[in-house]
Amino acid sequence: MKVEDIFKKSGAILEGHFLLTSGLHSPIYWEKFSVLQFPKYTQQLCQLISQHFSEESIEVVSGPTTGGIILAYEVAKQLGVRGIFAEKEGVDRRAFKRGFGIKQGERVLVVDDILTTGKSIREVLALINEQGGQVIGIGVLVDRSEKEHDFGVPLFSCMRSITPVYQPQNCPLCATAIPLLKPGSSHSISNRRAVN
Counting the structural domains of the chain, the total is 1
Q: 103, 74 in Cβ contact below 8 A?
A: no
- pTM of the prediction? 0.86
pLDDT of the residue at 184 = 67
Determine which helix (DSSP H) or strand (DSSP E) holds 127, and give its type and residue range.
helix 119-130
Task: Provide the edge-to-edge strand list for the sheet that holds 60-64.
Answer: 94-95, 82-88, 60-64, 107-115, 134-143, 155-160
Rounded Cα distance, 138 and 153, in Å: 7
Phi and psi at residue 189, in whole multiples of 5°? -70, -45
Domain range enclosing 27: 3-194
- Give the chain's residues under pLDDT 70: 184-196
Which CATH number characterizes residue 52's domain?
3.40.50.2020
Rounded Cα distance, 25 and 174, in Å: 9
pLDDT of the residue at 185 = 53
pLDDT of the residue at 189 = 33
